[in-house]
Amino acid sequence: MMERRIFIPLNWEVPNSLRHRVAEVVGTQRALEADGHLILILHKLPVARSAKRELRIFWRNPEGTWAADDIGTGIDALQRHVTEFNTRVLELEDLEHNATSADDYFHIRRNIAPIHRAARNMATAISRAYETCPSDEGLLICRNLAASVERTSELLKDDVTYGLNYSMAKQAESQSLASHRLNLIAAIFFPILAFAGIFGMNLDHGFEHKATWVFWIFVALGITIGMVMKSIIFRTKT
């Protein structure tokens, strides 16, 4: 839920016609222009598993001077805003390179999804802002960086999705192979179990009169055979 309401600082000499066009709630990222004034409403870097969207407001007056509500002044403030997204995407990209399990991929996917959505809308808003101020070189740099962040986050989201699907498929394949091996073992010993059920196993084999330690030898041997069979059944297929 988007809780914070948009508040344009009173010391900004923004015309009332532009102030009235700003909605009361955060809404989408967008660029608004009137009488040479530009208002850029962007979302801060989102946090995974949070529906809240905090915003930042940027203002460019007709003379080309920029201001921001909480991240500094000048066009550098907008560049820092976009760089925050770029830095976080690169961090997640490094995590993706080292991911080895479905949990790793899921963690990255959960974090990159809201960032990608925000980066895509941010790039669109900054691009529209540049269309109103095509002579602003600083805004051009921000537009190009925002487009790069959007593309990188999109590629990362796709790579993580593929990695997650592949990891889950490999896990399902391993489980299927283990189940197949277990079925083979059951098939081998099923006739023995059937005969034992029909005729019984109370045979005179001579071990009934042996010392107790003989029994424990057979227990240890059974456990050893079981561990060997376990390693064979759940051995990873290469």
Check residue 182 and give its pLDDT. Answer: 73
Q: 233: burial class by Cβ within 10 Å (0-12, 13-18, 19+)?
A: middle
- Residue 142's closest CA among 157, 155, 132, 129? 129
Check residue 2 and give its pLDDT. Answer: 43
Residue 59 and residue 14 in contact, taking contact as beta carbons nearer than 8 Å: yes
- Residue 69's closest CA among 122, 119, 8, 126? 8
Vertex 26, ends 23 and 32: CA angle to 5°?
55
Check residue 170 and give its pLDDT. Answer: 76
Please state whether the predicted TM-score (pTM) of the whole model is above 0.75.
no
Mean pLDDT by 10 residues, the chain (238 residues): 62 82 71 90 84 85 90 90 95 90 88 93 95 93 96 93 81 74 72 64 65 77 76 60
Check residue 139 and give its pLDDT. Answer: 94
Rounded Cα distance, 183 and 177, in Å:
10
Check residue 192 and give its pLDDT. Answer: 67
Check residue 83 and give its pLDDT. Answer: 95
Check residue 3 and give its pLDDT. Answer: 46
Check residue 134 and give its pLDDT. Answer: 92
